[in-house]
Amino acid sequence: MNILLKSAKIVIPENKELHLKKRDILIKNGFIEKVASSINATSKTQIVNLKNLHVSLGWFDSSVSFGEPGFEERETISNGLAVASKSGFTDILLNPNTNPVPDTSSDIVFLKERSSGESTNLYPIGTLTQKSEGKDLAELFDMHNAGAVAFYDFKKQLTNPNLLKIALLYAQNFEGLVMSYPQDKHLKGRGIVHEGPISTKLGLKGIPAMAEELQVARDLFILEYTGGKLHVPTISTSGSVKLIADAKKKGLDVSCSVAIHNLMVTDESLQEFDTNFKVMPPLRGKSDCKALIKGLLNGTIDFVTSDHIPIDIEDKRVEFDNAMEGSIGLESAFGSLVPIFGMEQTISFLTAGRERFGLEKPGLKTGEKACLTLFDPEKDWEFSEDDIISTSKNSMFLGANLKGKVYGVVNNDQLTI
């Protein structure tokens, strides 16, 4: 397949030669053939000439959930990857949030085969323990060999500290990355929202920031003892930022991410009892948002994630206490980040993180595989249900004014717009 991107403004902050320059980009059979000021197309070339077209390296998301296998009513792998590509993401990590969970090498092989041939690449995360029950380690080495990029009991606390110690020691044999969810379930108790004035006012059971920070502190203490590689997904408090900053100063091999909604949406949004705002970790206060943004900008937080979690209508349109946690976020990710961080910083965030999971970062040189995202960073628009192609519609950004619209991607010798 031959594709010619016409008059595309290239956004690659690390490449001073091409950054913010308008160029034509010719792609042949999935590889970059030429980048020049003007390129003439042959008759067999598909020309892409879109309004205010901007191009960056393909975007990466480290925390995406679908449903298949087991919860296909929430999202299938095929449609989920179509959502990701339409949202600008060429590479996503799939959380072990299925039924059954992927805790063997054959499960990892199934997910990779089920996602082959799509324009967005899917990389499975295997569970850390068998059936995500927190009792015995899963087949980490076999899953690693089958293609698992990390190991994680999705949104579940690893209550046994010795199990984390053993996992960190064992995974060093093959450079495996261990993930640990930052929440102490005993301190969380029956809490469903951030503990503070809003939870008291609304009469909702609160989750103290300490529930997250105590778990982060414990895990970092174990990491200092064992060595190895630890990733802390979706932190949400100012205290967690400080703990991880201190750990990095010590030289510990730790990384962390933050969900996009935790950067900009506070617990004040809960006052209408809209279950789309019920997420884990919970929406926190303004001071936490400020600390998370500062941590992201100074490099303490390594990358952002949509933390995309489709939930079917039967589990969302119920009483707030009974609703499942989660919000979809792929379709709104770019448009919600640009108003806060601007285009260039947003692109830096969305293209970061691959190396941590052992994935190769794409480039924009002749002969390299074309892995590109196409977008218009200046379009103002209101996010509505018509903009959602996810099977589930549980987005906390419905009705929000966003800036920046995604056209699609060029990846795996496919154009998706």
Mind telling me the catalytic residues? 307
**H-helix or E-strand containing 201?**
helix 197-202
| Alpha-carbon span 95 to 356, nearest angstrom | 16
The torsion region of residue 256 among left (phi > 0), alpha (psi -120 to 50) and beta comes to: beta
| Alpha-carbon span 416 to 350, nearest angstrom | 18
Lookup result for tokens 């970061």: 352
Residues sharing a CB contact under 8 Å with residue 275, sequence separation 6 or more, in sequence order: 316, 317, 318, 320, 323, 394
| Alpha-carbon span 130 to 324, nearest angstrom | 23
- Helix/strand/coil for 32: strand
The torsion region of residue 118 among left (phi > 0), alpha (psi -120 to 50) and beta comes to: beta
Residues sharing a CB contact under 8 Å with residue 299, sequence separation 6 or more, in sequence order: none
> Which of 207, 175, 204, 210 has the alpha carbon at shortest distance from 322?
204
> Which of 134, 215, 148, 153 has the alpha carbon at shortest distance from 176?
148
Q: Please state whether beta strands 414-416 and 401-411 pair in parallel, antiparallel, or not at all (unpaired).
A: antiparallel
Written as six digits, the tokens of 80 are 């989920």
Residue 178 near residue 168 (C-beta atoms within 8 A): yes
| Alpha-carbon span 415 to 404, nearest angstrom | 20
What Å distances lie between residue 152 and 92, 164, 203, 363, CA to CA?
Answer: 15, 11, 33, 29
